[in-house]
Amino acid sequence: MSKIDGKQLKKILFKNVAAVLIAAAVLVVVWIVAHAAVGNDLLLPDFFDCMRQVGVLLKDGGFWLAFWHTLSRVLIAFVFSFALALIFALIAYMVPWFCRILSPAVSMLRSLPTLAVLLIVLVWAGAAKAPIVVAFMTLFPSLYAGILAALSQVDGELLEMSRVYKVSMKKRVLQLYIPSAAPYVLREAGAALAFALKLIVSAEVLANTWKSLGGLMQEAKLFYEMPTLFALVVLTFVVGLALEILGAITAFFVERRVK
């Protein structure tokens, strides 16, 4: 990597890290002030109690097991949604009639009230699998639309040149479509991964999935263990943020490589 790349990366990282730290500091201050104003630990626990609880959770094997179960659901839902969205978007981009056929189905999936559907899926698939199905139903249409939009941004002049030189479809996909669409798709995917975590945890809370972050939250809520509940929310937020940052960094490097 050249010097300029390193400098730019440092600048971007510094800007983003600084923004995150400032936002987090503001939230902490608001929390502390709100706690003092409310004066009720059941409604809003003390920030420092909550942080102590974060420490306790991080040392607890049960938490890590729940975390792993939730994360694996997130990854399964994401990989499945992304792979299918990529395949369907590529076909839809190249075969216009397929795009027209798929369009109403995608619109229908988009407008479904996801968490309401969860109740039906819960009956069909059970509490362990229902969050995955629900996350897929939300992620697939948005990833499909994002990938399709990224593909339609591929340079028309390069496509024309490829047609003239009769470049094979395999070469076009691997050397033109994927590299051109990759930065946008990866950015979309990074955001989708964080969103998948949010969806899965919400669905787990509703489904009361056993040995999951959502399940632990539901349990904490039932026993009014507010510091634990808040600690779980904070940890979920941090993981979501980390996933989004990971996606953005990957997209940045791919973009540098491609452009």
List the x/- string, 145-164, binding to other proteins by CB under 8 A: ------------xx-xxxxx
Count residues contacting other proteins (CB under 8 A)?
18
**Cβ proximity to other proteins, 13 vs 258, nearer residue:** 258
On whether the CB atoms of residues 224 and 42 are closer than 8 A, the answer is yes
CA dihedral 9, 14, 16, 21 (to 10 degrees): 160
- Least Cα distance to 207 among 138, 124, 139, 142 occurs for 124
Q: Tell me which stretch binds other proteins (CB under 8 A): 61-69, 143-151, 165-173, 208-216.
A: 165-173
Write the DSSP assignment of 65-94 as a string of letters: HHHHHHHHHHHHHHHHHHHHHHHHHHHHHH
Give the residue with the Cβ less far from other proteins, 108 or 161. Answer: 161
Rank residues 96 and 104 by Cβ distance to other proteins and give the closer one: 96
8 binds other proteins (CB under 8 A): no
CA-closest candidate to residue 131, choices 81, 190, 181, 165: 81
Identify which range of 81-89, 111-119, 170-178, 243-251 contacts other proteins by CB under 8 A: 170-178
Q: Is 42 in the site for other proteins (CB under 8 A)?
A: no
Are the beta carbons of 228 and 57 closer than 8 angstroms? yes
Q: How far apart are CA 162 and CA 9, in angstroms?
A: 33
H-state helical runs in 96-168: 96-111, 114-125, 130-152, 156-164
Q: Which amino acid is at 245?
A: I
Question: Least distance (Å) from other proteins to the CB of residue 180?
Answer: 8
> Which listed range, 50-58, 107-115, 174-182, 212-220, lies at the site for other proteins (CB under 8 A)?
174-182
Rounded distance between C-alpha atoms, residue 157 and residue 47, angstroms: 56
CB of 91 to other proteins, least distance (A): 23
Judged by CB under 8 A, does residue 167 bind other proteins? yes
Which C-beta is closer to other proteins: that of 162 or that of 218? Answer: 162
Which residues here bind other proteins, judged by CB under 8 A? 157-158, 160-167, 171, 175-176, 179-180, 257-259
